[in-house]
Amino acid sequence: MLTITAFKAVPPFAQGLVRDLRARWALEEAGIPYRVRLIGREDQATPAYLALQPFGQVPALEDDGLVLFESGAIVLYIAERAEILLPREKAERERAKVWVFAALNSIEPSVQGLAALDLFHANERWAKEQRPTAEAATQRRLSQLASWLGERDYLEDRFSAGDLMMATVLRILRHTDLVASEPKLAAYLARCEDRPAFRRALAAQLADFDKAA
């Protein structure tokens, strides 16, 4: 059975955001059974784990001798098995892949940069000085994304792996009102989070954290 790794415990602000959620959600959408191997801080720097994930992060995926890391790569690997995540028609399929990379490369860097300032360095002077610039950059990206979305329910004609990845990136901003300030994005995110597969994946991640509490 396919195995993914996840953290045993993280601070409350990170619960529901750790990137194994992306893999869990993809697996739930695809209807693929899987198991989770929980790791702690003591495991991250061990030779055994670094052989799976060179940076000591999660998730890593093991599937019949194949080992993958990086959440985007893992989601695409899972998506190859599920038409709900990657359409069969070639153009639609390639567009779905484009949005996976757009989420990771065009949206997440500014989003993650702002979140890092807010969640890890909020009381430091340099972070306070940089925040207005970081917020403006994030707002600009969100506005561009909202403009593309327009009246669509999803980024393309239907839900795909690109939406899965984009929604998990937008959720990083849940400590702000930036997504709420873009009504189209707020409705889009709510639509993605309302999917039964997302709710199952989130519940499973949070349940693992509850066990460690």
CATH class of 90-195: mainly alpha
List, as own/partner pairs, every contact residues 47-54 make where C-beta atoms lie below 8 angstroms and the sequence separation is at least 24, other chains included.
49/5, 52/5, 53/5
**184-204 pLDDT, tens per residue?**
999 999 999 999 999 999 999
pLDDT (tens, 9 = 90+) of the chain, 213 residues, equals 999 999 999 999 999 999 999 999 999 999 999 999 999 999 999 999 999 999 999 999 999 999 999 999 999 999 999 999 999 999 999 999 999 999 999 999 999 999 999 999 989 999 899 999 999 999 999 999 999 999 999 999 999 999 999 999 999 999 999 999 999 999 999 999 999 999 999 999 999 999 877
Helix (H, G, I), strand (E, B) or coil at 187: helix
Q: How far is CA 196 from CA 24, 30, 31, 136, in A?
A: 12, 12, 12, 34
pLDDT in tens, 143-184: 999 999 999 999 999 999 999 999 999 999 999 999 999 999
Classify domain 2-84+197-212 by CATH number: 3.40.30.10
CA 17, CA 14: separation in Å to the nearest integer?
Answer: 5
Give the start-to-end residue ranges of the domains of the chain. Answer: 2-84+197-212, 90-195
Query: Residue 63 corresponds to which amino acid?
Result: D
pTM of the model: 0.97
Q: Is 38 helix (H, G, I), strand (E, B) or coil?
A: strand
